[in-house]
Amino acid sequence: MLSLPIAYQTSNTFNEYAEITVLSFGGGQDSTCILYKIIYDPAFRARFVRGHLVVIMSDTGDEHRYTYDYSGHIKQV
C-alpha cells in the first residue's frame, strides 16, 4: 500500500491536497487479505490507511475467467 498526498481541484485551483492510500489489488490471496483487513479491522485500517482508500486492479485482458468473477465479488464487499 502507498499513502501520498494528491492535489485535487476546487474552485479552478489545484492548491488543496488530500491524502490517499492506494491498494494494488491483484485478486490473489495477499491483496485479498489486506483488503479484508482494511474493511473489517478498524485498528489495521487506522494504522495503515491515510485519507481516502483507492483500490486499483490492472486488467491485462488475459486474466482467467475466475479472476474476473472474483473481482466482481470483491466489488460487492
What pLDDT is stored for residue 20 in this prediction?
Answer: 83
Enclosing H/E stretch for 67: helix 65-76
pLDDT, one tens digit per residue, over 23-64 is 998 888 899 999 999 999 999 999 999 888 889 888 888 888
Residue with cell 486499483: 56
In the chain, where the domains are located = 2-76
Instruction: Compute the distance between CA of residue 56 and CA of residue 69 in angstroms, rounded to an integer.
Output: 16
**5-23: average pLDDT:** 64
Cα Rg of the chain, angstroms? 15
Query: What grid cell was written down for 37?
Result: 483487513
DSSP symbol at 60: -
